[in-house]
Amino acid sequence: MSAFPGIDVIQYEGPESDNPLAFRWYNPDEVVAGRSMREHLRFSVVYWHTFRGTGSDPFGAGTMICPWDDGSDSVENACNRARAAFELFEKLQAPYYAFHDRDVAPEGGTLAESHRNFDAVAKVLQEEQQRSGVKLLWGTANMFSHPRFMHGAATSCNADVFAYAASQVKKCLEVTKELGGENYVFWGGREGYQTLYNTNMRRELDHLAKFFHMAIDYAKSIGFSGQFLIEPKPKEPTKHQYDSDAAACLNFLRSYDLLDSFKLNIEANHATLAGHTMMHELDYAGMQGALGSIDANTGDLLLGWDTDQFPTDYYLTTQTMLVILKHGGLGSGGVNFDAKVRRESFEPLDLFYAHIGGMDAFAKGLKVAAAILEENALGRLVEERYASWDSGIGAKIEAGEVGFAELEQYMLEKGEVAANASGRQELLEAIVNRYIDRA
Ligand code: XUL
Ligand code: CO
């Protein structure tokens, strides 16, 4: 039985199409900057918002209509849900999906029962992957919903919770490996604090690092070769999360000798919560060789919390793709729609409109970014802006040939600095507009 009757596989119809169930920009086989759009974008649909999201918010009950779901916590219902999920992935032509262990399978009365439930649903996921060709971008363990994680997981003050979390990640790594997952994500849901009055921050960070080292060791022991990713987020649900932004994550990884084993999964709405742009977070990760994957969504500046909306803004997608292309692409990562439809968009059809809109926005962003880079439209101005470093005193500073004494001598002789040039921000913004108009 079809979960989405009357909807066919979404096809590319081109920018002139007014069919809301067609792609206007995402043309999977179209080659842009040497690779197909499918290969560049590696779209992924998330299980949690799309198949477990109820539409509830802190003030109101769920609204989503899910005809394929009997509303129970049974394993059988979870298996049916998995089949419906793959129908959506296929109809969207999404090559990947991502899950938390507890999204796909219900938590049992004991850890052993939870493991069994997970295995039972993983069997169906495996069958569906083989049938459809849709692959697992990443797996992750939900270590923030259950009350046992109230003080965190690896950073909990309760050592038993660390042990429980370790067991959960061990199992999730095994299943992710079994399903051919290309990455494994850690988002520190409650790995942070609400008040420093009750927190030994040093001890918690040491424990978090120990946890990651154990995960790496275990992954090696079972032959899981996927990329480990940390997903930065500054707050929500805790007031401060240790993985607060790209710079904080990289500092943590470097301090605890974990840098070689991790990259980052950068999420747009998390960047905004950290007071950064998506572009900043991506560039910071990229310049340190740590850009692994992205969670594609957007926030609402008037609401200010993690609204996880679908990204439709061409500036956001252009900027995102500019930085991703600049750093050589996403590797084993992907464009993962960690996004949910609004509470008021409660019909199954809305899941299609939302993903199609997001995929099209990214496909257009890719084309715009590729054209800007190909014509070096921004790069030329950046190169000119730093030209004083290419020769003369600038080159000597970069080469480490001079110190303060030589620089003082240089400036005493010269008397005053060479004239500054305009930053040309408005021109650059207009250039980006021109490429968006043209794509
Ligand atoms: C929460 C968030 C998570 C992670 C996976 O803000 O983004 O869904 O992506 O745990
Ligand atoms: Co996310």
Residue 103 annotated as catalytic: yes
36-64: per-residue pLDDT in tens?
999 999 999 999 999 999 999 999 999 99
242: tokens are: 């240790």
pLDDT value, residue 394: 98
pLDDT value, residue 103: 98
Across the range 292-314, mean pLDDT stands at 96
Degrees, nearest 5: CA angle 39-187-159: 145
Across the range 255-264, mean pLDDT stands at 98
374-411: per-residue pLDDT in tens?
999 999 999 999 999 999 999 999 999 999 999 999 99
What is d(CA 363, CA 178) in angstroms, rounded to the nearest whole number? 31
* pLDDT bucket at 259, cuts 50 / 70 / 90: very high
* pLDDT bucket at 360, cuts 50 / 70 / 90: very high
Rg (CA), the chain: 24
* pLDDT bucket at 304, cuts 50 / 70 / 90: confident
Residue 100 annotated as catalytic: yes
pTM of the model: 0.98
Q: Which residue has a Cα nearest atom 7 of ligand 1?
A: 338
Judge if the beta carbon of residue 338 lies within 6 A of ligand 1. yes
Which entry of 103, 245, 295, 306 is annotated as an active-site residue? 103
Q: Which residues of 170-182 are buried (b: 16+ CB within 10 A; e: fewer)?
A: bbbbbbbbbbebb
For residue 303, CA distances in Å to 2, 295, 311, 340 come to 37, 20, 16, 15
Which entry of 40, 100, 151, 207 is annotated as an active-site residue? 100
Q: How far is the CA of 81 from the centre of ligand 1 (A)?
A: 20
Across the range 263-285, mean pLDDT stands at 98
Per-residue pLDDT at 1 exceeds 90:
no
Q: How far is the CA of 281 from the centre of ligand 2 (A)?
A: 14
Q: Which residue has a Cα nearest atom 5 of ligand 1?
A: 187
Judge if the beta carbon of residue 182 lies within 6 A of ligand 1. no
Q: How far is the CA of 140 from the centre of ligand 2 (A)?
A: 11
Plot region of 138 (φ>0 → left; ψ -120 to 50 → alpha; else → beta): beta
pLDDT value, residue 375: 98
Mean pLDDT across the chain: 98
Ligand nearest to the CA of 295: 2
Whether residue 275 contacts residue 230, with contact meaning beta carbons closer than 8 Å, is answered with no
Q: How far is the CA of 295 from the centre of ligand 2 (A)?
A: 5
Q: Which residue has a Cα nearest atom 3 of ligand 1?
A: 187
Q: Which residue has a Cα nearest atom 4 of ligand 1?
A: 187
* pLDDT bucket at 278, cuts 50 / 70 / 90: very high
pLDDT value, residue 183: 99
| Top mutation candidate among 145, 146, 231, 249 for ligand 1, by most atoms within 8 Å of CB | 231
Judge if the beta carbon of residue 306 lies within 6 A of ligand 1. yes
Judge if the beta carbon of residue 103 lies within 6 A of ligand 1. no
